[in-house]
A = this chain, B = another copy of it.
Amino acid sequence: MATRAGREAWQLISEMMFNGELQDRFHEASAAAGVTPGLLKSLIHLDQNEGLPMREMADHFGCDASYVTTIVDGLEERGLALRRPHPTDRRVKSVVLTDAGVQAREQALERLYQPPAALDALTGDEQRMLRDLMRKVAAADPTLESARRGA
C-alpha cells in the first residue's frame, strides 16, 4: 500500500510535472514537430512495424472513431503515417509510421523526456537511486509496455 511518504513523493512528482518549465513541454514538442498536440499523442503511440487498427486507437484514447479519421488524415497529410489494409478483415485499416514518422516520434520523445533543471540538485549516486526506485515502480505497472516498446 502507498504510505504517507509514498503519497508525498508522488505529489511532488506531479507538481514538478505540471508546473514551471515542464508545464507546456507537450505544446512545445508538438510545435517543434509541426503537429498539433492531438497528432503528437497518436504519433507517440504508433510504430512502424505492427500497425494499429483505427478502432484500437479510438479505444486506447477513449475518443470517437470519427476523430481517429481526422487524426490519421493529419498524420498522412504530413507524411508521418499511412493506412494499410488489414490482411484478413477488409473493413479494418491499420496505421503505421513512415520513416519520417519514426524520426519525428523519436525527436519528440527526446524533448518530452528531458528532465527538469532541478534534477541536477541530486548527486550522481542519488540520481542512480532515483532511477532504481523508478525502475522497480515502472516494472510493476502492467500498462507500460507500449510506451517502452520504442524506448
Using a CB–CB cutoff of 8 Å, the interface residues on chain A facing chain B are: 1-3, 5-21, 24, 62, 112-122, 124, 126-131, 133-144, 146-148, 151
Interface pair B121/A19, CB less than 8 Å apart: no
Tell me which of B2, B5, B126, B144 contacts A15 (CB under 8 A): B144
Instruction: Given contacts A8-B135, A16-B138, list 6 more A-B pairs with CB under 8 A.
Output: A2-B115, A5-B124, A6-B122, A7-B113, A10-B113, A15-B147
Tell me which of B3, B17, B18, B140 contacts A124 (CB under 8 A): B3
Can you tell how many copies of this chain the complex includes?
2
Known A-B contacts A19-B143, A121-B136, A138-B16; A129 and B128 likewise in contact (beta carbons under 8 Å): no
Tell me the bound Cα distance from A52 to B54 in angstroms: 44
Interface pair B116/A141, CB less than 8 Å apart: yes
Interface pair A10/B147, CB less than 8 Å apart: no
Tell me the smallest distance from the CB of A140 to a CB of chain B, in Å. 3
Tell me the bound Cα distance from A19 to B130 in angstroms: 20
